[in-house]
Amino acid sequence: MSAVSYKQENFIGIVTIERPEALNALNSQVLDEINSTFANINLKTTRVVLLTGSGTKSFVAGADISEMSTLNSTEGARFGNKGNEVFRKIETFPIPVIAVVNGFALGGGCELAMSCDFRVCSENAIFGQPEVGLGITPGFGGTQRLARLIGLGKAKEMIYTANTIKANEAFDIGLVNHVYPQETLMEEAMKLAQKIAKNAPFAVRACKKAINEGINTDMDRAIIIEEKLFGECFATEDQKVGMKAFLEKVKGVEYKDK
């Protein structure tokens, strides 16, 4: 039975992890299916992806503890590598991916959310990296992405203590961009996605690439990455259409990704 579903509404793709019996925990099958689902997204017809978990209790309650419990050191590293490859694919996916966190985002769940461009969550969301309480480190990028997102001191405290934090604290420390009531979470996420999808697709993708690649290098190199992508925008029809519309005071221009 499939553990990941995909649907498309206009330019928005919705990927849902569907393993409610284990609070959407990530086993090998789920990781493989997330991977193939993203690989099959049509980038000509999709401009934003929302990634969420089924139900109202959990986004993803971590990597699957049953599957991990019997792994030896080599197998553990291989499992970590499998998750890392999938998460890196999401992080570097050409179009924005928004994590819609509808409950627990623990361990691998928090790490999955952090591999997305940004996160929105419901009021009942709980975030944490509880791995040290299970005798392991975060293994799907948590030690790296959490520190980059919320700063070294806060990340170290969360990881060393295994403390979980509620939605409002996640908002206060910048781990999530918005907190919504559970009932309106998906509707609000869709509104954000639609707003992004209305903008020039090439330019949005170029921004993602520039931000992602630039953040990992020094400013001199980073600014050159931006310059190159900025220049490429002037070869698109969307740049002509967008600027002409502004000058002619035309509202509601439709971009075609040319």
- By CB under 6 A, which span of 30-38, 77-85, 88-96, 248-256 interacts with ligand CO8? 77-85
Q: Are 17 and 4 in contact (CB under 8 A)?
A: yes
By CB under 6 A, the count of residues binding ligand CO8 is 24
Strand ranges (E), the chain: 4-9, 12-17, 48-53, 58-60, 97-101, 104-106, 118-122, 126-128, 164-166, 178-180
Q: Report how far residue 249's alpha carbon sits from residue 256's, in angstroms, rounded to the nearest whole number.
A: 19
Pick 64 or 117: Cβ nearer ligand CO8: 64
Assess 131 for contact with ligand CO8 (CB under 6 A).
yes
Assess 63 for contact with ligand CO8 (CB under 6 A).
yes
Paired tokens of 92 = 């570097």
Binding characters for ligand CO8, 9-48, by CB under 6 A (x = yes): -------------xx-x-----------------------
Q: Report how far residue 199's alpha carbon sits from residue 255's, in angstroms, rounded to the nearest whole number.
A: 7
Query: What count of residues does the chain have?
Result: 258
**Annotation marks residue 111 as catalytic:** yes
Shortest Cβ distance from residue 80 to ligand CO8 (Å)? 4
Which of 30, 48, 106, 121 lies at the binding interface for ligand CO8 (CB under 6 A)? 106
Local structure of 92: helix, strand or coil: coil
Which of 139, 150, 197, 210 lies at the binding interface for ligand CO8 (CB under 6 A)? 139
Strand ranges (E), 129-172: 164-166
**Annotation marks residue 157 as catalytic:** no
What sign does the CA torsion over 56, 60, 65, 66 have? positive
Which of 76, 151, 174, 231 lies at the binding interface for ligand CO8 (CB under 6 A)? 76
Catalogue the active-site residues.
Answer: 111, 131
State the residues that interact with ligand CO8 by CB under 6 A. 22-23, 25, 61-66, 68, 76, 79-80, 83, 104, 106-108, 130-131, 134, 138-140
